């Protein structure tokens, strides 16, 4: 009989059965943004997976490594010092609790507003009270990633046949863009070694509600995505590249042609994981409807029209694993 060193340490966390170790999935599409065929590769990847890796992205490696080092310095502080940056409301520091509806994970995080035009007081106070993370490092990183995200969205628009190249990117560049930035830290969990055949959820399965999410992490293989057939596969890590997630809004804007990817993170036993995610969102008042260029003559929208504010409000009332778009899908007669 094996007894955990701290019998109640994992009592409230989600454990999932793992029939066999999930091998790294080698089929993740890789898009070279300098390639003349990049836009068609992005379209295929967004249709098939809702997820792809980008290389030759133009974001300086120094921006990534500097911010990662600062984030690690913060997350390694004594717990009382970290707690002063919380609780998350939604901005600020959070630990274990994900959102207001009962979801928990083996995670610590800081959520910041990513739009310098409407930066929250909470975000400003975090920079002021926690010198471990500098505002300039965050802004350098977010600015570079946002620029790359807009480039990807403009390639998408072209690939979808839109006459308006910035039809998607202008929503992120808008001075009222409701975008955010999250630093996630998944500490190692040595107790997992006693849980034969099970894994600990770091961040539960979900889709991202925004238009696009851009992820960069350290060299750990904890991220998994769900394929079309429901199979979960592990994403090979690459700390010099970025991974792009199609979000719920982009699924609607392509009338279901692109699929918002379901993903999750599992905790590790030895290595910690740190990830940095830019969530590109539209202004709160933006009406989310399919682009004209994706609609065939006579084709109907699969979704009822909504504003980003309405969808965001609905999403934050849901649990992580809920199919949030279901509330906005049209019901067609049999």
Angle between helices 135-159 and 38-48 (to 10 degrees): 90
Q: What is the pLDDT of residue 46?
A: 98
Q: Stretch 69-94: mean pLDDT, rounded?
A: 91
Cα–Cα distance for residue pair 261/9, rounded to 1 Å: 31
Q: Tell me: the pLDDT tens digits for 114-150?
A: 887 666 677 777 888 888 898 999 999 999 999 999 9
Burial 67-88 (b: 16+ CB within 10 A, else e): bbebbeebbeeeeeebeebbeb
> Which active-site residues does the annotation give?
273
Instruction: Using a cut of 0.85, tell me whether the model's pTM lies above it.
Output: yes
pLDDT at 19: 38
Q: Where are the alpha helices (DSSP H) in the chain?
A: 38-48, 61-75, 79-83, 121-129, 135-159, 169-173, 248-253, 308-315
- pLDDT of residue 334 exceeding 70, the answer is no
pLDDT of residue 117: 67
For 165, the token pair is 């190249």
Q: Which residue has the tokens 């106070």?
A: 125
Residue 20 has pLDDT above 60, yes or no: no
Q: H or E stretch including 244?
A: strand 242-246
Beta bridge partners of 198: 17
C-alpha neighbours within 13 Å on the C-beta side of residue 330: 14
Give the mean model confidence (pLDDT) for residues 239-262.
97
> What's the confidence (pLDDT) of residue 142?
97
Q: How many residues does the chain have?
A: 334
Mean pLDDT on 42-59: 97
Give residue 243's pLDDT.
98
Residue 4 banded pLDDT, cuts 50, 70, 90: very low
pLDDT at 9 over 70: no
* 292-326 per-position pLDDT tens digit: 999 999 999 999 999 999 999 999 899 988 999 99
Instruction: Identify the pLDDT of residue 193.
Output: 64
102-115 tens-digit pLDDT: 788 889 999 999 88
Residue 219, SS3 per DSSP: coil
Q: What is the mean pLDDT of residues 242-267?
A: 96
Helices (H), 79-211: 79-83, 121-129, 135-159, 169-173
User: What pLDDT score does 15 carry?
Assistant: 55
Instruction: Please report the pLDDT score of residue 56 as a whole number.
Output: 96
- CA angle 98/209/223 to nearest 5° reads 60
Number of helices (H), then strands (E), in the chain: 8, 15
Q: Can you give the pLDDT at residue 8?
A: 43
Report residue 166: phi and psi, to 5°: -100, 20
Read off the pLDDT band of 59 (50, 70, 90).
Answer: very high
Token couple for 53:
């890796």
What mean pLDDT comes out for the span 242-249? 98
Residue 10: pLDDT band (50, 70, 90) is: low
Tokens 């992120």, residue located = 172
Residue 201 has what pLDDT? Answer: 85
Pairing, β 198-206 against β 15-17: antiparallel
Grade residue 161 by pLDDT with cuts at 50, 70 and 90. very high
Please determine, for residue 196, whether its predicted confidence score (pLDDT) is greater than 80: no
As a whole-number percent, the residues of the chain with pLDDT over 70 amount to 89
User: What tens digit of pLDDT does each residue of 265-281 get?
Assistant: 988 878 889 999 999 99
∠ CA(73), CA(78), CA(83), 5° rounding? 95
Instruction: Give the mean pLDDT of the chain.
Output: 89
Interval 32-56 mean pLDDT:
97
pLDDT at residue 254 is higher than 90 = yes
């Amino acid at each position: 009989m094996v007894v955990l060193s701290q019998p109640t340490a994992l009592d409230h966390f989600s454990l999932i059965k793992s029939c066999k170790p999930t091998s790294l999935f080698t089929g993740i599409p890789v898009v070279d943004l300098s390639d003349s065929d990049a836009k068609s590769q992005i379209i295929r990847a967004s249709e098939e997976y809702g997820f792809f890796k980008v290389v030759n992205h133009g974001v300086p490696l120094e921006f990534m490594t500097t911010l990662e080092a600062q984030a690690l310095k913060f997350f390694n502080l004594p717990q009382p010092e970290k707690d002063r940056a919380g609780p998350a409301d939604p901005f600020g520091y959070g630990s274990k609790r994900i959102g207001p509806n009962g979801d928990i994970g083996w995670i610590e995080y800081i959520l910041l507003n990513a739009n310098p035009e409407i930066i929250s007081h909470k975000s400003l106070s975090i920079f002021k009270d926690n010198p471990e993370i500098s505002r300039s490092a965050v802004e350098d990183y977010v600015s570079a990633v946002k620029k790359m995200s807009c480039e990807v969205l403009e390639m998408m628009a072209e690939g979808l046949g839109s006459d308006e190249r910035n039809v998607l990117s202008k929503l992120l560049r808008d001075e009222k863009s409701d975008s955010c930035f999250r630093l996630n830290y998944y500490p190692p969990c040595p107790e997992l070694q006693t849980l034969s055949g099970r894994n600990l959820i770091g961040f539960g399965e979900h889709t991202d509600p925004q238009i696009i999410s851009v992820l960069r992490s350290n060299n750990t293989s904890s991220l998994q995505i769900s394929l079309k057939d429901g199979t979960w596969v592990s994403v090979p890590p690459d700390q010099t590249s970025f991974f792009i997630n199609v979000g719920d809004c982009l699924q609607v804007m392509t009338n279901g042609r692109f699929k918002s990817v379901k993903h999750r993170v599992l905790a590790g036993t030895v290595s910690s994981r740190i990830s940095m995610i830019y969530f590109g969102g539209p202004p709160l008042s933006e009406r989310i409807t399919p682009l004209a260029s994706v609609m065939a003559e006579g084709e109907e929208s699969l979704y009822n029209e909504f504003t980003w504010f309405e969808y965001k409000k609905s999403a934050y009332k849901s649990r992580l694993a809920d199919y949030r778009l279901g509330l906005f899908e049209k019901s067609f007669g049999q």
